[in-house]
A and B are shown apart, each in its own frame.
Chain A
Amino acid sequence: MSMDRRQFLKIAGSSTFLATIGIGAGWILSKPGDFLEASQFSQTKELLNAKQWAMVVDTRKFKTEEDYKKVVDACHRIHNVPNFDNPKDEVKWIWTDTYKHAFPGQENEFMPEQMKHKPFVLLCNHCENPPCVRVCPTKATFKRKDGITMQDLHRCIGCRYCMAACPFGARSFNYRDPRPFIKEPNPEYPSRMIGVVEKCTFCEERLAKGQMPACVEASNGALVFGDIADPKSEIRKILETNYTIRRKAELGTRPSVYYILEIPTSDISGGDSNA
């Protein structure tokens, strides 16, 4: 059979047209959930809701090593956060660091020794204006209506833009498969896989069950959690009656974690200012 150019184009053109219609029709017909119109999704009844969740860290109540440890362990145990031996691979949701590193620019060489060496509890600040959300190319990191900076790990491609954007070091990358490094996996919570970034979620899975975050529960009142948009909340009362600071507030990310500092005071006229 011989075919000239014109005929060939006619056949090719019409078959492409038909195929397009066919695929389109198939797509419309096969749209999932068609016969499940009655099903729907809703929130749990126990859900604790807020406009902007926030936390106050009362550093005065962290005294012994145990006080820090139980808070960090509570989080890392229930969330299957791996414990790598190599600090370069470290994955952390909540951790501690010195004043100088937690509040850079605020320190001075003459400040009380105990402040210089005191560890501060650090975690994701669930910023109201989060740079990590802005840079995430897949919208894996996003802001929930209750102010939590959430991460959809099904979408994370491990590009680590968010790590570069977060000024607080709140995010960790899984350089290795974390599974073998989780001592006692919590069967009720997933782990992560190699190549994704993870961080604190303000325990949104616990809020859905009407529970406070695990670290707050373990802290004996040293961490207070609440809705900062609600003027009647406990957290607002604490902020109104205590002087608090936030990490790197000058960057404009509007962190939602506040710190009450223990300020060793002495009367200025009273001489010994290092008491």
Chain B
Amino acid sequence: MYNGGKILLGIIVFVLFAAFPFYNNIGKVSAKPEPKLDTPVIQQLAEKKCVESKEFMKAEHMQLLNDWRDSAIREGKRIYVNSEGKEFRISLQNTCMNCHSNKKEFCDKCHNYAAVKPYCWTCHIEPKEKKS
């Protein structure tokens, strides 16, 4: 092998450089996001339950919202009947955000943590909140 030493050195330097974000963050734990649920509307709910179970909403809310969107706009079906037979009006602004009127303390908490930027809010109007 020609210039073996130089090549090996080059590889080591490259790996160290490329892996910088990993070892730089070892041991540092970002605080787990804790979305807040204490909005006035949620406080007054008799049964504090979203349109589906908490576990489902955590994992699948994006898919649920996509299905809601297609149902409402493309099929004109604006009622969602959940797995327990309860009916909800399909609307991000008027149903979801009616309860979750604290976008900054709810949506943004996890979205920021996961570094995702959903573009719902370029069109949909967010609820009015006090600047924090």
Contacts and interface: CB of A to CB of B under 8 A. Distances in A.
Interface of A: 32-33, 35-44, 47, 80, 142, 144-146, 150, 152-154, 185-193, 204, 208
A32 B63 contact: yes
A187 B80 contact: no
Contacts, number: 76
A211 B82 CA distance: 26
Contact of A208 (B56, B76, B82): B76
Contacts of A190: 93, 123-125
Interface string B62-90: 01000101010111111111111101011
Given A33-B63, A36-B83, A154-B69, A189 B76 contact: no
Interface residues of B, number: 31
A43 B128 CA distance: 29
Given A190-B123, A191-B125, 7 more contacts: A41-B79, A42-B77, A44-B79, A80-B125, A144-B76, A152-B74, A187-B93
Given A150-B73, A190-B124, A191-B125, A43 B78 contact: yes
A39 B86 CA distance: 9
Interface in B83-132: 83-85, 87, 89-90, 93-94, 122-125, 127-128
B38 interface: no
Nearest to A201: B73
